[in-house]
């Protein structure tokens, strides 16, 4: 025994791992770091990346957003914990016990991929194939973890598994995010420059906002739709700065000086929005599209919207009221400290492990 309970041997399996970029990747790293820091014996297995502790690279063929594992390492563990989407790794673990699966989001094939429009039948076929892989994984798993209750209850995949759902949210380290920074008069978007992220709707909203307010737009991140979005900004007459991918320290500084952060994604591929937590930790108010999961987070430190016009109105309302921005910012920071700290999340995941161990 140690101060947190039983010491466990834990295998975390993720399709990708940092420095590969992504919310799932950094969530898995945070879990691995935190659990190891609590004295557990933790091994990470992934198709790529590196971890300074106990890491196993899984030989894989990198397909589109879904690496195909050639074989999984034979590792004895008290807890097998896999992360999906990209279900092929979890599928190979489905007979292991006890198996905990974190279901991060539904697979929804966007209308365009890598800049090319996809036939609707092709997208639906991929979604169907994914569900065929996921069902036996969830059937066999002892517990399925979702990051919010509302996302689980509205998922076409998870509705049959609500009896074994446990909610464990994402987390951030508040100490990394400064507060009380002077603001520099811009709206911030942070994320990939791909069509399903909804950046087009943000640009259209800003074309309305900038007609009556001196408010800039900064878009941090990169992706295959970046040039298209830059051209759209010019056509709409939107004053926008595209920074490309930034180092972590520069990104946090940029975030802490924004008047607000907008997450415009309407797709269920966005199930939580860790970037919302990061902005809230900086006491920066957030605006997010009203989708399950994301809205649970955003409403604790900002507002939700359902249309481009609604977004433009919300941006103007926040811009014109510093007191409202400060109030929402303080609420957001408090929510992160109370509900989304790594201590809270590690306590919850240890409870899950103890339930099945």
User: Which H, E and C letters describe the chain, residue by residue?
Assistant: CECCECCCEEEEEECCCCCCCCHHHHHHHHHHHHHHHCCCEEEEEECCCCCCCCEEECCEEECCCCEEECCCCCCCCCEEEEEECCCHHHHHCCCCCCEEEEECCCCCCCCEECCEECCHHHHHHHHHHHHHHHHHHHHHCCEEEECCHHHHHHCCCHHHHHHHEEECCCCCCHHHCCCCCCCCCEEEEECCCCHHHCHHHHHHHHHHHCCCCCCEEEEEECCCCHHHHHHHHHHHCCCEEEEECCCHHHHHHHHHCCCEEEECCCCCCCCCCHHHHHHHHCCCCEEEECCCCHHHHHCCCEEEECCHHHHHHHHHHHHCCHHHHHHHHHHHHHHHHHHCCHHHHHHHHHHHHHHHC
> What's the confidence (pLDDT) of residue 1?
36
Looking at the structure, tell me whether residues 223 and 199 fall in a common domain: yes
Phi, psi at 312, each rounded to 5°: -60, -45
- Is 3 part of a structural domain of the chain? no
Looking at the structure, tell me whether residues 270 and 281 fall in a common domain: yes
Environment class of 122 (CB within 10 Å of its CB; exposed 0-12, middle 13-18, buried 19+): exposed
Looking at the structure, tell me whether residues 284 and 181 fall in a common domain: yes
State pTM to two decimals: 0.91
Looking at the structure, tell me whether residues 192 and 118 fall in a common domain: no
Which value, to the nearest 10 degrees, does the dihedral of the CA atoms of residues 40, 45, 49, 54 take? 40
pLDDT tens-digit profile, the chain (357 residues): 344 468 899 999 999 999 888 889 999 999 999 999 999 999 999 999 999 999 999 999 987 667 889 888 888 999 999 999 888 899 999 999 999 999 999 987 666 665 567 666 656 777 777 788 899 999 999 999 999 999 999 999 999 999 999 999 999 999 999 999 999 999 999 999 988 999 999 999 999 999 999 999 999 999 989 999 999 999 999 999 999 999 999 999 999 999 999 999 999 999 999 999 999 999 999 999 999 999 999 999 999 999 999 999 999 999 999 999 999 999 999 999 999 999 999 999 999 999 998
Looking at the structure, tell me whether residues 187 and 150 fall in a common domain: no
Give the β-pairing of 79-84 and 9-14: parallel
- Taking the alpha carbons at both ends of the chain, their separation in whole angstroms is 14
CATH number where 312 lies: 3.40.50.2000
- Is 65 part of a structural domain of the chain? yes
Give the β-pairing of 165-167 and 143-146: parallel
Domain count, the chain: 2
Looking at the structure, tell me whether residues 323 and 189 fall in a common domain: yes
Determine the distance from the C-alpha atom of residue 220 to the mean position of all C-alpha atoms in its chain, rounded to a whole number: 16
- Is 23 part of a structural domain of the chain? yes
> What's the confidence (pLDDT) of residue 316?
98
Q: How far apart are CA 67 and CA 70, in angstroms?
A: 9
- Is 2 part of a structural domain of the chain? no
Looking at the structure, tell me whether residues 191 and 72 fall in a common domain: no
> What's the confidence (pLDDT) of residue 326?
97
Looking at the structure, tell me whether residues 182 and 88 fall in a common domain: no
Q: How far apart are CA 237 and CA 222, in angstroms?
A: 21
Q: How many angstroms separate the Cα of 285 from the Cα of each of 37, 226, 246, 271, 306?
A: 32, 25, 21, 19, 17
Give every CB contact of residue 306 below 8 A, 6+ residues apart in sequence: 289, 290
Q: How far apart are CA 13 and CA 259, in angstroms?
A: 38
Q: How far apart are CA 147 and CA 164, in angstroms?
A: 14
Looking at the structure, tell me whether residues 334 and 345 fall in a common domain: no
Looking at the structure, tell me whether residues 269 and 290 fall in a common domain: yes
Looking at the structure, tell me whether residues 335 and 264 fall in a common domain: yes
> What's the confidence (pLDDT) of residue 53?
92
Q: How far apart are CA 184 and CA 259, in angstroms?
A: 7
- Is 4 part of a structural domain of the chain? no
- Is 1 part of a structural domain of the chain? no
Output the CA angle 302-307-313, nearest 5 degrees. Answer: 60
> What's the confidence (pLDDT) of residue 116?
64
Q: How far apart are CA 258 and CA 190, in angstroms?
A: 11
- Is 278 part of a structural domain of the chain? yes
Q: Are 258 and 183 in contact (CB under 8 A)?
A: yes
Question: What is the domain range of residue 300?
Answer: 174-339
> What's the confidence (pLDDT) of residue 355?
95
Looking at the structure, tell me whether residues 158 and 47 fall in a common domain: yes
């Amino acid at each position: 025994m140690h101060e947190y309970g039983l010491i466990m041997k834990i295998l975390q399996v993720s399709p990708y791992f940092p420095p590969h970029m992504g919310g799932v990747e950094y969530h898995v790293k945070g879990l691995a770091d935190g659990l190891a820091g609590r004295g557990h014996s933790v091994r990470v297995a992934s198709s790529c990346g590196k971890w300074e502790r106990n890491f196993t690279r899984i030989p894989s063929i990198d397909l589109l957003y879904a690496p195909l594992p050639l074989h999984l390492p034979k590792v004895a563990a008290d807890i097998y914990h896999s992360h999906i989407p990209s279900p092929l790794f979890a599928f190979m673990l489905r007979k292991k016990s006890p198996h905990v699966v974190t279901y991060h989001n539904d697979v929804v094939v966007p209308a365009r991929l890598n800049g090319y429009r996809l036939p609707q039948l092709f997208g639906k076929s991929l979604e169907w194939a994914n569900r065929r892989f996921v069902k036996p994984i969830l059937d066999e798993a002892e517990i399925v973890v979702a990051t919010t209750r509302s996302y689980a209850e509205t998922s076409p995949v998870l509705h049959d598994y609500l009896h074994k759902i446990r909610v464990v949210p994402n987390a951030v380290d508040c100490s990394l995010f400064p507060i009380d920074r002077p603001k520099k008069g811009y709206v911030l978007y942070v994320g990939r420059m791909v069509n399903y992220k909804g950046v087009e709707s943000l640009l259209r909203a800003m074309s309305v906002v900038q007609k009556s307010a001196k408010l800039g737009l900064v878009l941090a991140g990169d992706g295959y739709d970046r040039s298209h979005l830059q051209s759209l900004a010019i056509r709409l007459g939107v004053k926008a700065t595209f920074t490309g991918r930034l180092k972590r320290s520069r990104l946090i500084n940029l975030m802490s000086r924004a008047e607000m952060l907008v997450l415009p994604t309407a797709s269920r591929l966005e199930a939580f929005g860790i970037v919302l937590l990061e902005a809230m930790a900086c006491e920066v108010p957030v605006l997010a599209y009203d989708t399950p999961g994301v809205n649970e987070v955003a409403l604790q430190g900002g507002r939700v919207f359902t249309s481009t016009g609604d977004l433009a109105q919300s941006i103007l309302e926040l811009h014109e009221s510093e007191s409202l921005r400060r109030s929402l910012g303080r609420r957001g920071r408090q929510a992160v400290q109370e509900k989304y700290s790594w201590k809270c999340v590690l306590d919850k995941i240890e409870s899950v492990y103890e339930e099945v161990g």
